[in-house]
Structure 1
Amino acid sequence: MFSMGITLTLDDFKRVFLKPRVIGLGFFACYVLMPALAFVIGNALGLSGPLLAGLILVGSINGGQASNLCAYIARGDVALSVLMTTATTVGCIFMTPLICKLALGAVVDVDAMGMAISTIQVVLVPVVLGLTLNKYVPKFCRSVEPFSPVVGVTATIILVGGAVANCAAGILGAGMTLQLAAFMLHLIGGLAGYGIMRVFKYSETTCRTVAIETAMKSSAFGFLLASLHFPEYLVRVPSAVSVVWMAVLGSTMAVIWRFIPVPDEN
């Protein structure tokens, strides 16, 4: 989150308001479509309460930073991707705890206030710190910016590896049903994100961008929230599975679109 913060300025947040419709549709896909999909898929496949809760948690978190790189590879709109990631990242401070409390309160115990506090600590504080440094010491930020993606990716790999290793027994115990659920969530979410933008007649670059933003969630953050604020151990297992499928499907979409020319949009 800090590596994102040092690349942002107040003007970036102002630009969000210049594209309210597309940002709003992306926000809808992230915080309405994906949680609803997780709920339907989890119930359709008969996931147990804790696993269903974990899958809905995955659907309720913000878009991941890796989506920005995938949008670039897919010939999407990178600037829009960054704006959407920023909007959903800030939005998760209140949306993720709210959705989890409303959707999961009767399924498993949810510490909504604890989730909100953790989200502020993990998301808002690093972003604001990076934004502040970018404003007052921009030269320093430009000097470290080239290394930030490497640090961010390395940290994500460590978190992913730790999450999968920590949940190895739970992943094996859940079997292929959970694997199928996570796969379907990210695949159908990405296709639906693309379709929504097509319905509203947006350009191909915008459709690709929203598809990737919708499909790629910050699953490592979901694992952290599940570990801290859900007493049931199995709630964290879907995030550990999701983090792999999210990366596989997001990068696959990006590579496929890389070789499909974007129609002339002039």
Structure 2
Amino acid sequence: MKTFCHLIGKYFGIIAVVFLILGMTVPDSFKWVVGNIGGIPVLSTLLGVIMFGMGTTLNLRDFALVLKRPVDVFVGVCAQYLIMPSLAFLLAMAFNLDPALTAGVVLVGTCPGGTSSNVITFMSKGDLALSVTMTSVSTLLSPILTPLITYQLIGQKIAFDPLGMFWSIIQIVIIPICLGLAVKALLPKLAEQATDYLPAVSAIAISLIIAGVIAVSRDNIVKTSGIILLVVICHNCLGYLLGFILARITGMSWKKAIALSVEVGMQNSGLATGLAKTHFTSMPMATVPGAIFSAWHNISGALLAWIFVNFLNPKYAPAEEEESVSSQA
């Protein structure tokens, strides 16, 4: 079972694409994901499960880096909440997206980083500690910053309730993460055993969300003629690039720059999908950018890790380490 769960985690990007295709080809099989079962919203429950899993992987000492390296964390979190929301808004304007798609793209941009970024940073041989801390801090700030920035960008044109979004994030993100932290603190052995399985559970949950959202919006997606896919790809790849550039401009090392690049480019798009469904109910297409982003950023992240490990790291990382040693000598 552990091996099976490991394979699910390893090939999550492929699984996500498969579920996206299934949502397009057999939509009736997945529409239940965006409905209610026994009066309980399935999509929000799946997101809660994902966030609970994230909580069991965190530790209070993960936040110690905020005190040890406050400048790195501050730059990283600022990049997260400045670069991606700005890119989202500019791309929506440049491609003249309709209000529903604009809301969805902006929500992807204003959401915090996701746990996938930690995996990709590790695969890329970046600064994993910085990546985990950035994910944790940006997630804890999301109840305030996500509704606030979203309102600043589109609140004048597209009506929604920022306070309601704040409470949604508390319910979907903060409470499950706190429960996960509590389980890890009070039942450490159980939490340790769960880490073998929860990443796979989270991968399946995200894949179901992708399939469900695509299923209910299938006809409208076909009408977009691939524009939203192009916007998502630009948003993600420009996030990687600008995150890396900002890290280098601010004097970060190569490994830190990798972490910042990945953390900025990869978003908690599952959360964006859930928030879009809850707060833009009259705009079903608002859920689509998050679903497409969820599938795409895992593919691009794996490709980025391959490029770093096989081409960029061998050329630039050793040279930088030699330079650092020379300057200390």
Give the TM-score category using the shorter length.
over 0.9
1:36 counterpart = 2:54: no
User: In the aligned structure 2, how far is the partner of 1:244 from the partner of 1:142?
Assistant: 28
- What is the aligned partner in structure 2 of residue 86 from structure 1? 136
What is the aligned counterpart of 1:253 among 304, 319, 322? 304
| Cα RMSD (Å) | 1.5
Given that 2:209 and 2:291 are in contact with CA atoms closer than 8 Å, whether structure 1 keeps it comes out as: no
User: In the aligned structure 2, how far is the partner of 1:242 from the partner of 1:171?
Assistant: 14
What is the aligned counterpart of 1:240 among 291, 295, 310? 291
Structure 1 counterpart of 2:168, one-letter code: S
Structure 1 counterpart of 2:155, one-letter code: G
Given that 1:100 and 1:110 are in contact with CA atoms closer than 8 Å, whether structure 2 keeps it comes out as: no
Structure 1 counterpart of 2:112, one-letter code: N
User: In the aligned structure 2, how far is the partner of 1:156 from the partner of 1:239?
Assistant: 11
Deviation at residue 98 of structure 1 after TM alignment? 0.7
1:55 counterpart = 2:55: no
User: In the aligned structure 2, how far is the partner of 1:170 from the partner of 1:107?
Assistant: 22
Deviations 1:202-242 (CA, angstroms, capped at 9, x unpaired): 11111111111111111111111000111322222222222
Deviation at residue 52 of structure 1 after TM alignment? 1.4
- What is the aligned partner in structure 2 of residue 105 from structure 1? 155
Structure 1: runs of 5+ lacking an equivalent:
none
Given that 1:12 and 1:83 are in contact with CA atoms closer than 8 Å, whether structure 2 keeps it comes out as: yes
- What is the aligned partner in structure 1 of residue 56 from structure 2? 6
- What is the aligned partner in structure 2 of residue 157 from structure 1? 207
- For the residue of structure 1 that corresponds to 2:197, the secondary structure is helix
- For the residue of structure 2 that corresponds to 1:75, the secondary structure is coil
Deviation at residue 165 of structure 1 after TM alignment? 2.2
Which segment drifts farther, 209-218 or 147-156?
147-156
User: How many residues of Structure 1 are paired with residues of Structure 2 in the alignment?
Assistant: 266
Normalising to structure 1: TM-score of the pair? 0.95
- For the residue of structure 2 that corresponds to 1:146, the secondary structure is coil
Given that 1:226 and 1:235 are in contact with CA atoms closer than 8 Å, whether structure 2 keeps it comes out as: yes
Larger Rg: 2
User: In the aligned structure 2, how far is the partner of 1:133 from the partner of 1:5?
Assistant: 9
Deviations 1:145-195 (CA, angstroms, capped at 9, x unpaired): 222212221212222222222322222122222221111111111100000
User: In the aligned structure 1, how far is the partner of 2:159 from the partner of 2:284?
Assistant: 12
User: In the aligned structure 2, how far is the partner of 1:170 from the partner of 1:43?
Assistant: 20
User: In the aligned structure 2, how far is the partner of 1:24 from the partner of 1:171?
Assistant: 38
Structure 1 counterpart of 2:259, one-letter code: T
Structure 2 counterpart of 1:2, one-letter code: F
- For the residue of structure 1 that corresponds to 2:224, the secondary structure is helix
- What is the aligned partner in structure 2 of residue 188 from structure 1? 238
Which ranges of 4 or more aligned residues in structure 1 deviate by more than 6 Å?
none
Work out the percentage of aligned pairs sharing the same amino acid: 33
User: In the aligned structure 2, how far is the partner of 1:192 from the partner of 1:49?
Assistant: 26
Given that 1:171 and 1:241 are in contact with CA atoms closer than 8 Å, whether structure 2 keeps it comes out as: no
Structure 2: runs of 5+ lacking an equivalent:
1-50
Structure 2 counterpart of 1:193, one-letter code: G
User: In the aligned structure 2, how far is the partner of 1:173 from the partner of 1:212?
Assistant: 31
Deviation at residue 7 of structure 1 after TM alignment? 2.1
Structure 2 counterpart of 1:238, one-letter code: P
Alignment of 1:221-232 (within 5 A): 221-230=271-280, 231-232=282-283
